[in-house]
Amino acid sequence: MGNRKSAEHLMALFTIIIWGTTFISTKVLLTDFKPVEILFFRFIMGFAALFLAYPHRMNEF
C-alpha cells in the first residue's frame, strides 16, 4: 500500500512540474504564435499523451 501511495505522489509531482513549465513555455511562445495556435497545439499534445497512456478506441454513443 505504501509503495502505491509513493507512486501516486510521484505522478502528482510530475503533473505539477509539467503544468508549471507550460506557463513558462506559453509566455515564450506568445512572441511567435497567437494564443489560439498555442491552445490548439497544447490540446493536440495532451490528446496524444493521453492516447499513449490509455490507447483504447473511443466508443460511439
- Pairwise CA distance, residues 46 & 56, whole Å: 15
* Torsion angles phi and psi, residue 56, rounded to 5: -110, 145
- Pairwise CA distance, residues 9 & 23, whole Å: 22
Overall pTM > 0.85: no
Chain centre distance of CA 17 = 10
Cell of 19: 503544468
* pLDDT tens-digit profile, the chain (61 residues): 568 888 999 999 998 998 888 888 888 999 999 999 999 998 998 889 888 888 777 666 5
Sign of dihedral through CA atoms 37, 38, 39, 44? positive
